[in-house]
Amino acid sequence: MYNKYIKLVIAAAILVWSVFQFIETNIMNGISLVLFAGIFVLLYFKNEFILLSFWQLRKQNFTGADKWLNKIKNPETALVKKQEGYYNFLKGIMLSQTNITKAEKFFKKALKLGLNMDHDIAMAKLQLAGIAMTKRRKREATMLISEAKKLDTQGVLTEQIKMLKQQMKKV
């Protein structure tokens, strides 16, 4: 994993090289180099290990996702703020299976740092609601469930919200 600033320096160097290719009338080489530099700019905003971790999660491979996340040694300096939010979000998902106290800290930190998509925020709040419910904090759980319901505009989490509400009635 390259440092986030090294990625930008590499992209700038490739862009300079592409300008020289355009000057020498090697148009196709110049276009190819501009696209290649775009990959490094993309990886500045979207960390490669976080992308690979999401890919492993989509395949339901939690150990593989955790392996990719553990390759990020110092997330505070290696990641942009939003990436750090997703790092904490993914760590919270991994730990929600085993240690809910640590998972709660990761979800709260992810919400504090910020997540890009509304359904990701809703998922984090729903996870926090489940954790609050297991810790017998009913008022906090109902508040988090209602916030998650507002954020879930596409109806992706309606089943989980209904299930949590039913479990809340039993508590």
- How does pLDDT run across 66-103, given as a tens digit for each residue? 999 999 888 888 888 888 999 999 999 988 888 889 99
Superfamily of the domain at 47-170: Tetratricopeptide repeat domain (1.25.40.10)
pLDDT confidence of residue 116: 86
pLDDT confidence of residue 15: 95
**3 SS3 class:** coil
Average pLDDT over residues 133-155: 87
Cβ contacts of 99 within 8 Å, gap of 6 or more? none
pLDDT confidence of residue 2: 60
* Cα–Cα distance measured from residue 14 to residue 41, given in angstroms and rounded to the nearest whole number: 11
Average pLDDT over residues 61-68: 91
Q: Whole-structure pTM over 0.85, yes or no?
A: no
pLDDT tens readout for residues 29-51: 999 999 999 999 988 888 889 99
Q: Please report which residue ranges of 59-117 form alpha helices under DSSP H.
A: 62-70, 75-78, 81-95, 100-113
| Domain extents in the chain | 1-45, 47-170
Contact of 103 with 135, CB cutoff 8 Å = no
